[in-house]
Amino acid sequence: MRVLITGGAGLVGNALTRLFLKKGAKVLCVDNFSLGTRRHIQEFENNSDFDFMELDVSVPDWHKKIRGQSFDLLAHLAANSDISLGNAHPEMDKRRTFETTFEALMVARDMKIPKFIFSSSSAVYGQNPPMPTPEFSPSLHPVSIYGAGKLASEAFISAFVENYGIDAWVFRFGNVVGEKLTHGVIYDFLGRLRKNPSQLNVLGNGFQTKTYIDVEDCVSGIYLALEKSPAGSLHSDRFQIFNLSTEGATSVRQIAEESCRVLNLKNYKINYEDSPIGWVGDVPKTSLDVSKIKKCGWRPQMDSTAAVFKAIKDYALWSQPGT
Ligand SMILES: NC(=O)c1ccc[n+]([C@@H]2O[C@H](COP(=O)([O-])OP(=O)(O)OC[C@H]3O[C@@H](n4cnc5c(N)ncnc54)[C@H](O)[C@@H]3O)[C@@H](O)[C@H]2O)c1
């Protein structure tokens, strides 16, 4: 199998690349390093089944740079995954979250790549969906620009499936965590605590409680769904949507305390705000119904809090100054 991965230098891209290589696939990753880093792909550099190109996949016709190659599957992961940044600069999500998807779909169509994987998000459900939220939730009203970019992307994928004979798997992730973070609450807290070990100012009251998934569990879910998608989901069995996260949840307060503990801090103060949300567009509680992906036989190795605590430990080591 030949696999093309956009956003391959990111957190999920790194783990998905490793998994496909382990399964015997040939992998070409493309990334523009806007969030991911070259260090994230270093481990594959001597693998003859791996190739990398630095490319901006929001640019029309980027596939001309890889003309002549053929692929069985395109996994489109490139996006602006930093939600609060996208709310401050909406054009960022238009370009990096939506237009990258449109251009990736055009690549799948023009290069006749039959299978398309998309990394969507629980952010498509917005503020008050039923919980745990099923894939067929009636509430698809995103409150972040990022969530809007993901939902618009899903709509285009649905239409490309119908028009151009592509099979698509859309995964609405919870918060994915692991060693090679590029953004998010753990990345943020550890970075800020290293600059100022005596104080941590938290956005919101810290009771925001979200569902987290370890990146290895996330990519194993993607792989299993590809192999065993049950037929007859939302539109047709050629357009599959899966929630992908753990069933539990973890609070920002737990993450703040554990970050201080892992950094061995003794005299510190964590300051919380009064607001129940961290920023406009933040969704303070998430919980996903994952029964559909479980029907494929998927069982996560870690629950939400175990995934978070492992990621704090691993990312603290990975990002140690001087490494
Ligand atoms: N990590 C999460 O909690 C989470 C949750 C829900 C959905 N997702 C989605 O899953 C995907 C992977 O997430 P991640 O955590 O690995 O994020 P990430 O930021 O680590 O990886 C995304 C990668 O895309 C690259 N990229 C961005 N714009 C690009 C462009 N125009 N051209 C080429 N490369 C570009 C970045 O450099 C980065 O390496 C993203 O689409 C993200 O939105 C992530």
pLDDT score at 67 = 86
How many angstroms separate the alpha carbon of residue 280 from the centre of ligand 1? Answer: 21
- Averaged pLDDT in 10-residue chunks for the chain of 323 residues: 98 98 98 97 98 98 93 97 88 97 97 96 94 93 96 97 94 98 97 97 96 98 86 61 96 98 97 92 92 94 98 97 80
Q: For residue 171, which atom of ligand 1 is closest to its CA? A: 7
Distance CA 265, CA 276 (A): 26
Q: For residue 146, which atom of ligand 1 is closest to its CA? A: 43
Instruction: Kindly list the domain boundaries of the chain, sorted by start residue.
Output: 2-177+213-244, 185-210+248-286+301-318
Q: Whose CA is nearest to atom 21 of ligand 1?
A: 10
Q: Are strands 209-210 and 250-251 parallel, antiparallel or unpaired?
A: antiparallel
Q: For residue 14, which atom of ligand 1 is closest to its CA? A: 16
The answer to whether the peptide bond before residue 132 is cis (omega within 30 degrees of 0) is: yes
pLDDT score at 138 = 87
pLDDT score at 282 = 85
Query: Other C-beta atoms within 10 Å of 106: how many?
Result: 17
Tokens 């070259």 locate to: 38
What single DSSP character describes residue 50? Answer: E
How many angstroms separate the alpha carbon of residue 81 from the centre of ligand 1? Answer: 5
* CATH class of the structural domain 185-210+248-286+301-318: alpha beta
Where do the H-state alpha helices sit in 196-280? 215-228, 252-262
* CATH class of the structural domain 2-177+213-244: alpha beta
Tokens 């009064």 locate to: 274
Q: Whose CA is nearest to atom 10 of ligand 1?
A: 119
pLDDT score at 236 = 54
Instruction: Write down the pTM of the prediction.
Output: 0.96
On the 0-12 / 13-18 / 19+ scale of CB atoms within 10 A, 312 is buried
Hey, which of 6, 35, 94, 243 would you mutate to test ligand 1's pocket, going by the most ligand atoms within 8 Å of its Cβ?
A: 35
Q: Which amino acid is at 276?
A: P
Q: Whose CA is nearest to atom 2 of ligand 1?
A: 176
Hey, which of 41, 74, 77, 183 would you mutate to test ligand 1's pocket, going by the most ligand atoms within 8 Å of its Cβ?
A: 77
